[in-house]
Structure 1
Amino acid sequence: MQLRKLLVPGLISLALLSGCSLFNSEEDVVKMSPLPQVENQFTPTTAWKTSVGNGIGEFYSNLHPAWQDGNVYAADRRGTVKAVNASDGKEIWKVDLSEKTGFLSSNRPALLSGGVTVSGGHVYVGSEKAQVYALDTSDGSVAWQTKVAGEALSRPVVSDGLVLIHTSNGMLQALNESDGSLKWTANLDMSALTLRGESAPATAYGAAVVGGDNGRVSAVLMQQGQLIWQQRISQATGATEIDRLSDVDTTPVIVNGIVYALAYNGNLTALDLRSGQIMWKRELGSVNDFIVDNNRIYMVDQSDRILALTTDGGVTQWTQSDLLHRNLTAPALYNGYLVVGDSEGYMHWVDINDGHFVAQQKVDSSGFLTEPVVASDKLLIQAKDGTLYAITR
């Protein structure tokens, strides 16, 4: 049960005053699985590593590196954004988005949280302070900065001349890609009890499809901000507050006119893109983004099982259950293998054909929260302490 993303203002004091608990009993407290013994079939190599500020510490943040045209872009929570050469990790430029107060040691942190996204000539990153920044890829200078409706926890998505931002208070906003001006706002609603995190939208055929904290998936016309359809894939039920969480925090995946969406305490669901009608669903939940590739769905569920399922009906093809409750990242598909990181700083390599382990490596002592990113022949992953690694097979 991945409680690291839980955000309910006042929840602790409310529980103490009322005498109720998030958990039914001591049996609900889960233990991390021991590290499985793996006989490496190959040894992954760290091509280079570099520090990107102070990282995210123990805060939840969706910051992860982005790659374009041979350069890698990464950020830390305080406000450092850095561009490095993808081949050797050498710094190209570095900027500090923290607020200057007149005293160098007392700058207010920018609290970057959503991103990083690179598209065209800009690097985009959002913050817990409801700011979205567009930086020039050539030198890191701020091209524009816009205040949005709430915390920008998910990564910005750029499509059709718009920068789409899903804020923590349930708003989907479209900003003009060239100057950051607000084009429209769609209110997707939210629940009183939610997880810390928001779904980034997926785009196709002029529509943006995004998950919401209310258990619904919504499709919005990108040019007008008009709601096309909404479909519920998770219902708030259960005896405890945790059981009733119904967030859809994962990014939907659109393939051949089908929307695949995944809720925390709900279902893995296939929807018709045009109508939003449910085509099939499986009772599986997660907060991690998933992969759809070659008629398969690869995912990490809320208990940290790794699964491969068919896109036709969601039939399970294999399950890897030896990493339960190790707080896995979302998976990456790299060189024919699934790769995940865990909270102890290990990376695990899994054969996509049957789910058995092919390699394991200890990379960083601070651990990982966000998924690896494929950058040509390298695999990028950013640790909680801000160290950015480039891994090769």
Structure 2
Amino acid sequence: MLRYLLPIAVFISLLGCSSKNEKELDLEAVDLVKFEASVKLNRIWSRKAGSGQDNRYTRFSVALDGQGNIYTAGYKGDVQSFEANTGKKGWSINTDEPISGGVGVDTNTVYFGTYNGTVHALDSRSGEQLWQVEISSEVLSAPVSNGDLVVATTIDGRVFALDTKTGEQRWSYDHALPVLTVRGTASAVVTASQVIVAFDNGQVLSLSASDGSTQWEFRVARPQGRTELDRIVDIDGTPIIDGGYLYAGSFQGNVAAVSRGSGRVMWTKAASTSYSMAAAQGKVFVSTEDSRIQAFNAITGELEWENFELKRRNTSGPVVFDSFLAVTDGYGYVHVLNQSDGKFAARFKMPGGKQRSRGMPRIPLLSDGEILYTYADGGKLSAYTVKTEE
């Protein structure tokens, strides 16, 4: 069966053009509202970090290793390491590989996948290549490791678990995909005992890390509607774990919370998102397709607040840093919101971003909890902290 892959921007355009309501044809983004900033951000460093992102519809994620280092990859095949607190460059190499989805990292190793369907492992201290393995097809998200396994998901619906030291395949899982999907894949969530994977049919599976057998499964959303466009319910944002719960969201579907251990559904709420969510202070934060920033109660699923003042500005997935929440938009702005009520606290223009008109933000923001990192399409990596009163 032939599958069609649509870039998300193209799909949203098709939805708008198919509407019978003339008011819905007005897809202009709202102007930015003025507000009095309640916090100041301090840019502690900014560095050129390789070639950045090209015009293909991929998301070049950046990775922190928990040991004070941050890693980036660019579309020309370059990979870099930096000290996360200072921006000092550690190493930079050109792999000459068509990197497709950014980098993942564990204690000793940096991983990336390619459009050619290979997974590569580099020594995190030197950038030296340790191994490379060919798998079935394009790897459009960053491989993820628990130190023993590295897991890569491919565009054809397969999951590969590889030995971190040798690249040898431990197991694989094959999942049937819909006829029509939005181009992109979520990274797996890998723990010592679980490999949790989200698929383009709205389904989430927990597989045993040891052998790939199914532990539980549930559907965030089920396809509905008369046309294949209507029935798209892709999960392209990586699910998140917070305590004993797993949270996931689908395009044209729902956001949902399940028990991490059993897969038992705790709650679902109607929402459409293509990005990863964030969790903090008993809330789950979501950026929807129409650029609503929403906060749901993490236990009950009740909507606690909503900010719709970025309407149709194509906001990214949210990240938590300090006591705030941050999203980017398609015009290169970073918006900082209060976690408590969703009100704007600060705003700044991302340095080094390519100028676009209503573009889709594709490189996710990143945070270690205290520092906010931005990686612009043009390859500029920057770090911010909340400015304290002197």
Deviation at 1:274, TM superposition (A): 4.1
The change in CA–CA distance for 1:241 and 1:223 in structure 2 (over 3 A counts) is same
Number of the residue aligned with 1:329: 316
1:86 CA displacement: 2.4
**Partner SS state of residue 267, structure 1:** strand
**Structural mapping, 1:1-393, within 5 Å:** 4-5=7-8, 23-25=18-20, 27-28=24-25, 30-68=27-65, 69-98=67-96, 110-159=97-146, 161-204=148-191, 206-364=193-351, 365-366=353-354, 368-375=361-368, 377-393=370-386
Higher mean Cα deviation, 111-120 or 176-185?
A: 111-120
Q: Cα offset for 1:348? A: 0.6
Bigger Cα displacement from structure 2, 383-392 vs 49-58 = 49-58
Measured in 1, the distance between the counterparts of 2:84 and 2:243 equals 32
> C-alpha separation between the residues in 2 aligned to 1:185 and 1:268?
27
8 Å contact from structure 1 (residues 55, 77) kept in 2:
yes
Q: 1:150 to 1:339 in 2, by over 3 A?
A: same
The amino acid of 1:147's aligned partner reads: E
Contact 1:65–1:74 (8 Å) recurs in 2: yes
2:107 and 2:147 in contact (8 A); partners too: no
CA offset digits 1:6-60 (Å, max 9, x no partner)? 689xxx9xx9xxxx99723563462222122132223323222222222113222
Q: Distance in 1 between matches of 2:225 and 2:174?
A: 27
Amino acid in the other structure paired with 2:193? G
How far did 1:205 drift? 6.1
Unaligned residue ranges in structure 2 (runs of 5+): 1-5, 356-360
Alpha-carbon deviation of 1:191? 0.9
CA, structure 1 residues 42+228, in 2 after alignment: closer, same or farther (shift >3 Å)? closer
- TM-superposed CA distance for 1:131, in Å, is 1.5
Give the conservation status (yes or no) of the 8 Å contact 1:188–1:218. no
- The percent identity for this pair of structures is 29
What is the TM-score normalised by the length of structure 1?
0.87
Partner of 1:62, secondary structure, is: coil
User: Structure 2 CA distance, aligned partners of 1:7 and 1:276?
Assistant: 33
- Give 3-state SS (helix, strand or coil) of 1:254's partner: strand
Query: Deviation at 1:350?
Result: 0.3
Higher mean alpha-carbon deviation, 354-363 vs 39-48, is at 39-48
Task: State the distance in 2 between where 1:96 and 1:262 align.
Answer: 35
Root mean square deviation of aligned Cα: 2.4
Give the Å deviation of 1:138.
1.4
The Cα of 1:75 is off from its aligned counterpart by 0.9
- Give how far 1:192 is off: 1.3
Contact 1:209 1:218 in 2 (8 A): yes
Q: Is the 8 A contact 1:24 1:240 kept in 2?
A: no
Q: Could you tell me the TM-score, scaled by structure 2's length?
A: 0.88
Residues in 1 aligned to 2:178 and 2:131: alpha-carbon distance in whole angstroms: 32
CA offset digits 1:131-157 (Å, max 9, x no partner): 111111111111111112221112211
Which range is displaced more, 382-391 or 53-62?
53-62
Deviation at 1:376, TM superposition (A): 6.2
Shift of the alpha carbon at 1:201? 1.8
Please tell me the residue identity of whatever aligns with 2:76: R
Give the corresponding residue for 1:103: none
> For 2:151 and 2:338, how far apart are their aligned partners in 1?
35
Q: Deviations over 1:65-117 (max 9, x none)?
A: 2223222211111201011222332322111111xxxxxxxxxxx22122321
List per-residue Cα deviations over 1:361-383 (Å, max 9, x = no partner): 11234264222211464211111
Tell me, in whole angstroms, the C-alpha distance in 2 between the residues paired with 1:280 and 1:123.
36
Return the alpha-carbon distance in structure 1 between the equivalents of residues 218 and 169 of structure 2: 26
Aligned length, in residue pairs = 371
Partner Cα separation in structure 1 for residue 205 and residue 25 of structure 2: 33
